[in-house]
Amino acid sequence: MALAASFACAFVSAASAFRPKRGSQSSLHRALSKREQGIFESCPLATAEPNCLQRLALMHAGGLDVVVFPVAGASLYALGRYAAAARRLGMSVMWELGDPVWWQQSASGTQGASDFPQFAAACGCSDNGDLLAYIVRWLGSLPATFGYYAIDDTMLEPDDREAVAAYLATIKRIDPVHVTMIAAFSDAQRREYEGLADLVGQEVYPITTSPILPQRDNWATWRELGREARDTQQQADRAGKQSAFILQAFSWGDNLADGSAIGICPQTDTTIACAERLRYPRPQEQLVLRNTIQRVARPRLVLWYSFPGTYGQATSPDPFYAPISYTEAAQRWIGLSAAIKAPLPVALSKRGDCQNRARPRQTHCQARRRASPRKST
């Protein structure tokens, strides 16, 4: 907690000069009018609210606009206080709402009440349909709400498209103002859910054991990253949507399950042994990764996964995750925040952005609109 407070103080003056505060969102057009950067957080409000608020201030000082935060596990009062704190800092909250119960059970099912008991009690309802409507209506009323991280890629099954479409349509019917987002890990998964959410976030996690810089020595890796970014943008254009990307701010060795899943850590490894086999991205890798995505695509939102993967868990160590020392946490966060705050290269900043009226290049934007089926919002 003391570490979070000291770093928040160190960053706050630079952050306040770096970015003006946003006003409240009054329409979907306004919500989609500027590109932003955000990060995933999983701080338990029920047991560590003061620490969660300090971590939020640290994110703001590091140049972030949006925090992706889970809805489950905290009281409505605590969620409201967290959202109010974000708004005072000039940040917004994308609420992590994903739960397979919303699309794998019927509206008359009752599992949602077990997963979101605090909302079920406030609503006085138990049916999934009534409960989802209440949650979205309540979250949508908060001035700090940016939108809904509706589904993580790990929750998706190959035949879920029809049910997922109905779930997302329900969110938009109840709250047509704020954005919906789902994440995709692979090309096939992204294509299957094309056009359903306002944003489909392509995950980009290329760093495992070896450096990916300089680019000239790792051409195959960067060529594949460029292809993935172009395909994501083209897919968004076809669907009349905007693109989003989730970039790497963690080590695949943070836990044994992830390290084993990519074939680096044997199941016999300890958590510490697996962590030593894999590494966290270097600051320059994160910067070049962000700039490459911005150069090849036109992302509405760039998210980093994750704050716990960079700065450590908010509460006492969880044996599932490899511990991060204070020194390592500080080094990781300083490097990531530098990448977040870094201006775009001159070639990109002069290119203009059709969605950003603060720096339009009208001829370029009009030509791009004629060449693309992407709808204006």
Domain spans of the chain, in order of start: 2-371
Here the tokens at position 79 are 């969620």
Residue 17: count other Cβ atoms within 10 Å of its Cβ: 8
Q: Which fold has domain 2-371?
A: TIM Barrel (3.20.20)
| Separation in Å, CA 337 to CA 61, 252, 307 | 8, 20, 11
pTM of the model: 0.85
Sequence letter at residue 73: G
Give the pLDDT confidence of 323-363 residue by residue, as tens digits: 999 999 999 999 999 999 999 876 665 554 444 433 344 43
Give the pLDDT confidence of 273-305 residue by residue, as tens digits: 999 999 999 999 999 999 999 999 999 999 999
What integer pLDDT is reported at residue 315 of this predicted model?
Answer: 87
CA distance 229 to 71: 30
Task: Give 372's DSSP letter.
Answer: -
Q: Which helix (H) or strand (E) holds 283?
A: helix 283-296
CA distance 41 to 303: 11
Closest CA to 215 of 279, 285, 296: 285
Which residues have CB under 8 Å from 303's CB, separation 6+? 37, 38, 39, 40, 66, 68, 201, 244, 245, 246, 247
